[in-house]
Amino acid sequence: MSLLDVENLRVSFDTRQGVVEAVRGISFSLGQERLGIVGESGSGKSMTGRAILRLIRPPGRVGADRIALEGEELQSLSERQMRKVRGRRISMVMQDPKFSLNPVMTVGEQIMEAYLLHARDSRRAARRKALEMLEAVDIRDPERVMKAYPHEVSGGMGQRIMIAMMLIPDPRILIADEPTSALDVSVQRTVLSIMDGLVRERGMGLIFISHDLNLVSEFCDRVLIMYAGRIVETCDAARLHEARHPYTRGLLNSLPRLDQPRGRLEVLARDPAWAEGR
C-alpha cells in the first residue's frame, strides 16, 4: 500500500480579479520513496505540500477526490484529528529556519516540545531523545546547542535543528519545501544528505519540493514537473536528462553550465498548451 494517495487535488483562491487556480487537478501517490516536485514560482508546488497538511487558509479553497494517508481519508478528519496527523504522521520542513523556529525559546525546549506533544513520556526522556536527534543531524556539541536560541546558530545548523524537530515524533512522511534554498551552496548538500540518510534509515516517504532541477535529480527517486498548477511530466530522477516535455527540456537548457560554455542561454518559449496539461 502506498503511504499517500492524492487524486485530483485542486487549490484555488478567490480574489477581487476572480478565481485564481493555483493547483488544477493533480494526482500522484507516494510510497517509501523520495519524490521530487519541481517547478518555477507560481507553479503550485508549495501549495500542493500545504494542501496535503490542510495548511491553506481562506480565501484559499482545497478540493480533492481523495487525499489518503495509509488508506485513511484525510479530508474527513476534524481539525482536532488533523492536528494529530501534523507532525506525528506527516511533518514539514520549510524554506527558512529563521522564520520557522521560535525566536524566544531555546532549541532544546522546542525539540522537546515537538516530542512531548505526540508522545507520553517524561521530560527527562524527551531531553535524551532531543540530544540523540541533534547528534543524528550531525550537530557536534548537542549539549551547547540545546541551550542556544535560534539567533545564535547559523542557517545550516538552524535547518538541521528543524529536521531534528520534524523527525523526532517519527513521522511516516516528511514534506520538505525548498529546505535548502536559504542556505549557502556549500552547506546545501550536507543538510540534504543528512535529511536523505535519516529518511532512508527510517523507511519514510519524502516529498522534496524545489525549483532546483539538479538538486532534485540528485536526491530523489522520482520527479514530478509542475507547470501552471498541473503535472506536465513524471520521470525517474536518474533519467531527468531524457525528459521529453518541452517545458522540462527548456528548464534544463536554460541553466548555465561550467562544463559546456555557451554564448547565449536558451530562453524558454512558453507554449499555452502546456498549461492545459498537454
Binding interface with another protein (CB under 8 A): 40-41, 155, 184-189, 211-215, 217-218, 238, 240-241, 250-252, 254-268
Place of cell 521560535: 102
CA distance 168 to 173: 12
Write out the three cell numbers for 135.
547528534
Q: Which residue's CB is nearer to another protein, number 104 or number 258?
A: 258
Please choose, from the candidates 256, 252, 206, 254, the residue with its C-alpha nearest in 3D space to the C-alpha of residue 233. 252
Q: How far is the CB of 204 from another protein (least distance, A)?
A: 22
Nearer to another protein, 196 or 212 (CB): 212
CB nearer to another protein: pick between 80 and 262: 262
Instruction: From residue 153, give the alpha-carbon distance in Å to each of 127, 161, 162, 267.
Output: 19, 9, 12, 39
Long-range contact list for 100-106, CB < 8 A, 24+ apart?
100/162, 101/150, 101/158, 101/161, 101/162, 102/150, 103/149, 103/150, 103/151, 104/149, 105/149, 106/146, 106/147, 106/148, 106/149
Cβ proximity to another protein: between 93 and 223 the closer is 223
Q: 35 and 208 in contact (C-beta within 8 Å)?
A: yes
Running DSSP on this structure, what letter comes out for residue 55?
-
Minimal distance in Å, beta carbon 242 to another protein?
A: 9
Of 92 and 213, which has the nearer Cβ to another protein?
213
Q: Which is nearer to another protein, 114 or 216 (CB)?
A: 216
Q: Specify the length of the chain in residues.
A: 278
Residues contacting residue 267 through CB under 8 Å, at least 6 positions apart = 254
